[in-house]
């Protein structure tokens, strides 16, 4: 039996923090008729609410630490406020969304990141093989659209702060066994740029051969390289295609051509 298409789409702060951007994105997203899953990051609102409540972000060597107060804060803000606002908006657009964290239905079990040089606190690392796809599959088959906050749990009653990109790629890989998955990362640029100063220099297609050439030419902006590496890792693990680009253009043509950068094997 041919696999059904599934879109796994990640949005970050540049979409979430701007009400107009978010509205536009959710309109495009709700219009997609294929099976789809949305993963949202947190944006600046957690920091803002943290400051209002006297909870300050802690850093060690420039890395953010998730202490007891911080995990409560992100559970509230990402798992509650941001997640349910998105769900309520999608419902108003007749997209039957359900808001989830990795704890819900035990969909994404994780382990607290082992302490080496730094104790990151309540931060979760995901093992893709432990993801429980059955619940997601049931929801998708019932035309319900899962919307994930960037949170997992450790199975011992602790919520864990988890990178939204990681959640997106982990879900995409785990679901690729049953679905033909296109993983879409919405970010602030229109795609992978040949010239980082020129938004019109989007590279439309990258495969491993092209990537090798681009790397040897030293053309790629440094910040994009880990994103492309992660994309190929997801593809090697079963994901069909990865797309990187700006939210406002990516979804309009989701099934076919896209305005971002298409990455495939």
Q: Is 162 in the site for a second copy (CB under 8 A)?
A: no
**Any bridge partners for residue 59, and if so which?**
64
Asked if 53 is part of the footprint of a second copy (rule: CB under 8 A), the reply reads yes
Chain positions 74 to 133 lying near a second copy, rule: CB under 8 A, are 75-81, 83-85, 87-89, 91-92, 96-101, 103-106
C-alpha to C-alpha distance for 14 and 7, rounded to whole angstroms: 20
- The minimum distance between CB 8 and a second copy, in angstroms, equals 19
Q: Which is nearer to a second copy, 36 or 182 (CB)?
A: 36
41 is in an annotated binding site: no
Residue with tokens 């970050």: 12
3-state secondary structure 36-72: EEEEECCCCHHHHHHHHCCCCCEEECCEEEECHHHHH
Number of other residues whose CB lies within 10 A of the CB of residue 98: 17
As a whole number of angstroms, the distance between CA 71 and CA 77 comes to: 10
- Could you tell me how many residues make up the chain? 265
Q: Candidates 60-68, 157-165, 177-185, 212-220 — which segment interacts with a second copy by CB under 8 A? A: 157-165
Given the complex with a second copy, which of 149 and 244 has the nearer CB atom?
149
Q: Is residue 61 a contact point for a second copy (CB under 8 A)? A: no
Q: What percent of the chain is helix, strand and coil (3-state, nearest 5)?
A: 40, 25, 35
* Binding flag, residue 151, a second copy (CB under 8 A): yes
Q: What is residue 128's DSSP assignment?
A: G
Instruction: Rank residues 106 and 163 by Cβ distance to a second copy and give the closer one.
Output: 106
- Which range of residues in 50-58, 184-192, 204-212, 248-256 is near a second copy by CB under 8 A? 50-58
Residue 105, marked binder: no
Q: Is 64 labelled a binding residue?
A: yes
* 79 belongs to an annotated ligand binding site: no
Name the DSSP letter for residue 246: -
Total of chain residues touching a second copy, rule CB under 8 A: 42
235's tokens:
């593809």
Taking CB under 8 A as the rule, does residue 196 contact a second copy? Answer: no
Name the one residue in this structure whose structure tokens are 């681009």: 214
User: Closer CB to a second copy, residue 156 or residue 209?
Assistant: 156
The binder of a second copy chosen from 118, 134, 233, 265 (CB under 8 A)? 134
Closer Cβ to a second copy, 57 or 201, answer by number: 57
Cβ 113 to a second copy shortest distance, Å: 17
Helix (H) or strand (E) holding 92: helix 83-92
Instruction: Find the binder of a second copy among 61, 142, 200, 217 (CB under 8 A).
Output: 142
SS (H, E, C) 196-243: CCCCCCECCEECHHHHHHHHHHCCCCHHHHHHHHHHHHHHHCCCCEEE
Q: What are 193's two structure tokens?
A: 């740029």
What's the rounded Cα separation, in Å, for the pair 14 and 161? 19
Q: Which residues are annotated as a binding site for substrate?
A: 42-43, 64, 161
Binding site for a second copy (CB under 8 A): 49, 52-54, 72, 75-81, 83-85, 87-89, 91-92, 96-101, 103-106, 134-135, 138, 142, 144, 151, 153, 155-159
């Amino acid at each position: 039996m041919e696999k059904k298409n599934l879109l796994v789409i990640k949005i970050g702060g540049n979409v979430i923090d701007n009400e107009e951007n978010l509205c536009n994105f959710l309109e495009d997203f709700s219009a997609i008729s294929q099976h789809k899953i949305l993963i949202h990051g947190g944006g600046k609102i957690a920091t803002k609410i943290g400051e209002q409540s006297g909870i300050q972000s802690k850093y060690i060597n420039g890395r953010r630490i998730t202490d007891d107060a911080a995990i409560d804060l992100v559970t509230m803000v990402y798992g509650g406020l941001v997640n349910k606002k998105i769900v309520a908006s999608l419902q108003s657009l007749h997209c039957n969304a359900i808001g989830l964290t990795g704890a819900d239905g035990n969909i994404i079990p994780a382990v607290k990141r082992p302490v080496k040089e730094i104790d990151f606190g309540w931060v979760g690392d995901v093992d893709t093989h432990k993801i429980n796809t059955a619940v997601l599959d049931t929801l998708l088959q019932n035309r319900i659209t899962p919307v994930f906050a960037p949170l997992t749990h450790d199975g011992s009653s602790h919520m864990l702060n988890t990178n939204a990109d990681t959640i997106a790629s982990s879900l995409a890989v785990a679901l690729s066994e049953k679905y033909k998955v296109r993983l879409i990362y919405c970010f602030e640029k229109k795609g992978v740029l040949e010239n980082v100063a020129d938004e019109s220099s989007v590279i439309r297609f990258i495969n491993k051969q092209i990537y090798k050439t681009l790397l040897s030419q030293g053309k790629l902006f440094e910040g994009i390289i880990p994103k492309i590496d992660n994309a190929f890792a997801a593809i090697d693990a079963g994901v069909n295609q990865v797309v990187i680009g700006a939210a406002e253009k990516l979804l309009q043509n989701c099934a076919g051509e896209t305005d971002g950068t298409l990455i495939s094997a």
